[in-house]
Chains A and B, each alone.
Chain A
Amino acid sequence: MAFNFNWSPLIADTSRAREMLTTALNKSPKPPIIVDDIIVTELNLGSTPPELEILEIGDLAEDRFRGIFKMSYTGNAFLTLKTKVQANPLNTYLSTKPDFASPQPLAAASGLVIPLQITLSDIRLSGFVILVFSKQKGITLVFRNDPLESLKVSSTFDSIPFVRDYLQREIEGQLRVLFMEDLPAIIHRLSLRLWSPEYQELETEQRLDGMKDAAAPIDPLSTPPQDAVDAFGNPLDESQISSLSRDPTSEVHASFSQKNILHLTALSESQRTLSLFTPSIREAVFRAWAGQPDRNESGSNTPALTQSSLSRIQSTFGSMKSASSSVASGSTGNDTQSSRPTLSSNYSAPAGLNLGANRLRTHPMRKRKKRVVNLRRDRDGGESSGVSTEANTPAPSTNVSETASVIHEEREKEEELVTPPKSPVKQGLRFEGKHGSLDVGEPGRVSKKSSAEGLLPAPLLADPSRLSKSKQKAKVSTPLIIEEPEKEKKMASGRPPLSHNHLRRTRQTTSPLLRSLSLDKVSTLSSGSRLSVPPHSYTENTSSSGGILEQAWMLKMAQEIARKVQEEKEKEAYRDRESSPSPNPQGLFHPQPQSTSKRGGIWAQDEDDAPPAYVA
């Protein structure tokens, strides 16, 4: 599959872009040397399009898209600005000084206002771009880093080196601000105008009002999404938004003992495999740990019993993430069986807290199609991190960004990066080593399978070493790719044997418990909701700003997680070396070039059972 960017229509009409650039440039207070508005007179995007390298595609559909690109631009675009500058340095110097101690020159400070024309050309850009597109919410484009590499400023004053250097410096600074702050806003606005007729009307009104905040800066990190909608397109109210935006990171710090965390992780993983109450979403792919919120969704709407069991699982995730901020709860020493009854009570409390995104789950059964394709190479991993995603965001997407940000923060450690798997794990689950991926099957299927074969008793749960091992593996894997089982099987052949056997076993072990708790309700609920909510409803859900917001939160949290997980993993590794002399060959991690698996993964998946919309 390839993208076909049509560059030429972009070149055609740039009047609107010019207008918006003008507004953006005049927004910030100007230095005293500039005595007039800065007007963009010419904007030519050139004939050479920028080169985009796809690093990751988080979401793909006809009407929405989310991905990370590496962009490099060496084209012939140019931009011409017009303004007036005060050419007398004495004048600008004195204008900022108090009169009392001013030399008060007679005429030496008389102004010479010179119309200045600046042409910016030879723009060299290189950076990582996060692009989120949805038909309803327009395009959100964010630069992960400062994309400006170099540019040539030619102006009226090229013959005067001092002025030329000054201009070059000033303009580069301004442009950096433009790229990082203003351009995303401009593009968003433009795209809204293009696709959203409501917005067009709205803006026309605004313009009549005076177009005051034409290019109001969108600071995705500090402001809540301005027009948040939920999965069904209903606008979220203030409180919901605030809950979304203000979930402190600290909430994920539940108090768990290390041991229990391991147990619970295994438990939840197995549960995921069985996916009793994971809504089976057609054409949905989960990131390894992206499934958790999904279940949370369903859990929040299930009756109390189920909910508690669910929340237990949730809590394990939370604890996993915060990985052993272990103020041990009472059940620390217990084995799984013994702790089972208490689990719900112990861990249900933090359950609601562990993911901020969970709060959003006011609408049950938000099934979302998630395809996370990680095309990231190792060195690129950091940049691609902020998979900024959708606004009010469905948890899966937040998880996506989470993973990514973990990688970003722990770039140097990426080799051994451990992230707790959180997605519903199913039969086809595959945990990979360092760059491996955690593949999660389709929940619906999983439930079927699990019902068929997951009825084993749970003695294995009592086997802590296994649990811990498997859990460790799960953690070690960077769960970036979620693929469908078929795909995964294909891939598996080229891969060293991995830990999924263990995982499967542990999953199976826990299944009775889970089933007993929530199978009936959840399954009914999920099936019902599946019916009620067509997959299309999600498309409306993809909004732009909230994802970025969450991303900030996730970034913070991910840092924490990565750190803790790393610690834990080291500990585990140490313990393994010491205590468990029988190395499980399947548990070994083999670093593997990730890109192949990823690429194969997503496309294969598309071929397999993607809806028509996905076939690119």
Chain B
Amino acid sequence: MLDFMDNVQNAFYEASHWNVDNSYGALNATARALLDFQTPKGLRLQISSLAAPNFATSYTLGSVGVVDGSVSYLYSSLPLRGRFKSSDLDLHNVIKGYRHLQKLRRPDEDWWWEVWHSGKRIDRRDTLLYGRIFLPQSTLEALYLRRLSPTKQLKISAVSSSSLNNGGTILALLQNDVGKYSTEYMYSTDSVLMGVRGLYNFGPDPRVAPTIPVTAQEIAEPVHGRFSAGAELYYGLLNKSGGISTGLRFTTLPNHTGFPYTMTLTLNPLMGNLSSTYAVKAGQNLALCSRIDFNFYSYESELQLGCELWRRRRNTDIEWAVKKLRPDWKQPNVAPDEDVSGILKARVDQNWKIGVLWEGRIKELLFTLGASLDLKKREQIIRAVGIELQYSS
């Protein structure tokens, strides 16, 4: 389940029309959400609040052997008007599952953002500031996010901790997203790592789409999928080592009539790592995902399977009545997550390492129950168990 602060950040992206999915880093977000989810350890409590539309606070208290916690504050120059109360937020916003990509938006024009007042431009760049201090480790996380322009965003994140070399590290990330393609440039002070990432979407360019006349063929065969390709390149100046990878993705768009599915293929040519994922949303409540890793240098392979299941409450009292409803009768419009009793996520790999997550909402609390198991180790099957509780207002 997403952290409250992450949720707020996502809301900021949304409010500032930034497409998080259109980045090479998010190429296999679906597979990661379904296969690489974190299982909680120990007990963790989080109380958060969006006190004002621009300001959020969050406190966490954790207990894994020792009691630790964190305090975080967030400021956004852009008023955030989403639903963040734990009692009524949309569970789809906080539960990462199958990412259903939307049609590419045409980026805002620069002049859309301009605000003129009596002959002067008075608009400001949207900015988000975030800080979090972990106690008692005295680790500080800080984030500075600025929308430089409708197609540009600067993200500077820093961690200060005595356990790190030089006491901390800073990562600067400059992102460009014009819809058709996106590029990212990054610089990390740690070992002077520099990186470039790019993603290119095949198909119609959202920027020019309106000007091209629609042909008859396009109407007959509407585009119901998107093919994307990307690459990334890193080089650390100090340790003179780098990394490279390329990736492909095909995903169905909402106008696809069958099951939505996403396929990705990533390749690390340096390390010979080939990874392919296939995720399918088999129904409204079920998503399945598989991933096969193969290394053609070491011939090592790995298989992971995962699923996400939304379990909905059935009201048995009125079920018989619902059955008797005529199909053409409109069902009363209820909140989409009203009847969700919980979401089950599970993954298993070829070594019989299992991760299980049960998330949901009880009254006004969001809860996450998780366990990771290792069936190969007979003496210690349960590796970790944890529960997280979140409350936000």
Residues in A lying within 8 Å of B, measured CB to CB: 87-90, 93, 97-98, 100-115, 162
Contact = CB atoms under 8 A, between A and B. Distances in A.
Nearest to B267: A107
Interface stretch (B255-263, B271-279, B335-343): B271-279
Interface stretch (B61-69, B104-112, B242-250): B242-250
B234 A110 contact: no
Contact of B241 (A89, A102, A112): A89
Contacts of A89: 236, 239, 241-243
Interface stretch (B8-16, B81-89, B153-161, B352-360): B153-161
A107 B266 contact: yes
B365 interface: no
5 contacts: A101-B169, A106-B230, A108-B232, A110-B271, A113-B300
Nearest to A162: B240
Nearest to B26: A106
Given A90-B234, A107-B273, A108-B234, A101 B239 contact: no
Given A105-B195, A110-B266, 9 more contacts: A93-B241, A103-B193, A106-B230, A107-B245, A108-B233, A109-B243, A112-B273, A113-B300, A114-B297
B186 interface: yes
Interface in B258-317: 266-268, 270-273, 275, 293, 295, 297-298, 300
Contacts of B267: 107
A100 B275 contact: no
Contacts of B158: 101
Main secondary structure of the interface of B (DSSP, over half): strand
Contacts of B234: 90, 103, 105, 108
Given A90-B241, A97-B164, A114-B298, A103 B268 contact: no
Interface residues of B, number: 49
Nearest to A104: B25
B171 to A, nearest CB: 4
B295 A112 contact: yes
B236 A108 contact: no
A103 B157 contact: no
A115 B234 CA distance: 25
A110 B161 contact: no
Given A90-B234, A97-B164, A112-B295, A106 B247 contact: yes
Contact of A93 (B27, B191, B275): B191
A103 B298 contact: no
A23 B275 CA distance: 36
B57 interface: no
B299 to A, nearest CB: 11
Contacts of B197: 106
The residue in B197, B232, B268, B270 that gathers the most chain A C-beta atoms within 10 A of its C-beta is B268
B19 interface: no
B196 to A, nearest CB: 11
A208 B133 CA distance: 47
Nearest to A108: B243
A93 B239 CA distance: 9
Contact of A105 (B141, B232, B300): B232
The residue in A93, A103, A111, A112 that gathers the most chain B C-beta atoms within 10 A of its C-beta is A103
A112 B300 CA distance: 9
A106 B24 contact: yes
Contacts of B77: none
A-B CB proximity, top 8 nearest: A108-B243, A89-B241, A107-B245, A90-B243, A112-B271, A107-B266, A110-B273, A108-B245
A101 B171 contact: yes
Nearest to A112: B271
B188 interface: yes
Contacts of B243: 88-90, 105, 108-109
B205 interface: no
B28 interface: yes
Interface of B: 24-25, 27-28, 139, 141, 143, 157-159, 161, 164, 169-171, 173, 186, 188, 190-191, 193, 195, 197, 230, 232-234, 236, 239-245, 247, 266-268, 270-273, 275, 293, 295, 297-298, 300
A355 to B, nearest CB: 46
B188 A111 contact: no
Contacts of A87: 271
B14 to A, nearest CB: 21
B188 A112 contact: no
Contacts of B28: 106
A89 B234 CA distance: 11
Contacts of B139: 98
A106 B244 CA distance: 9
Contacts of A109: 243
Contacts of B164: 97-98
B268 A108 contact: yes
Nearest to A109: B243
Given A112-B297, A162-B240, A106 B161 contact: no
A88 B241 CA distance: 9
Contacts of A162: 240
B108 to A, nearest CB: 26
Contacts of A114: 297-298
Contacts of A101: 141, 157-159, 169-171, 188, 190
Nearest to A84: B298
A106 B27 contact: yes
A72 to B, nearest CB: 38
B195 A103 contact: yes
B161 A98 contact: yes
Contacts of B24: 106
Contacts of A111: 271, 273
Contacts of A90: 234, 236, 241-243
A89 B275 CA distance: 19
Given A90-B242, A112-B297, A162-B240, A103 B271 contact: no
Contacts of B273: 107, 110-112
Contacts of B171: 101-103
Contacts of A97: 164, 169, 190
A103 B233 CA distance: 11
A103 B195 CA distance: 8
A279 B302 CA distance: 76
A269 B233 CA distance: 81
Contacts of A108: 232-234, 243-245, 268, 270
A592 to B, nearest CB: 58
A366 B273 CA distance: 71
A114 B272 CA distance: 11
The residue in A104, A107, A108, A162 that gathers the most chain B C-beta atoms within 10 A of its C-beta is A107
A101 B242 CA distance: 18
A114 B273 CA distance: 12
A104 B29 CA distance: 12
A115 B295 CA distance: 13
A57 to B, nearest CB: 51
A100 B190 CA distance: 13
The residue in A90, A102, A111 that gathers the most chain B C-beta atoms within 10 A of its C-beta is A90
Contacts of A113: 298, 300
Contact of B268 (A93, A104, A107, A115): A107
A271 B2 CA distance: 87
A37 to B, nearest CB: 16
A326 B9 CA distance: 76
Contacts of B173: 103
Contacts of B244: 108
B193 A107 contact: no
A106 B141 CA distance: 22
A277 to B, nearest CB: 62
A13 B370 CA distance: 50
A399 B268 CA distance: 66
A110 to B, nearest CB: 4
Contacts of A110: 245, 266, 268, 271, 273, 275, 293
A433 to B, nearest CB: 58
The residue in A90, A93, A100, A106 that gathers the most chain B C-beta atoms within 10 A of its C-beta is A106
A103 B188 contact: yes
B361 to A, nearest CB: 26
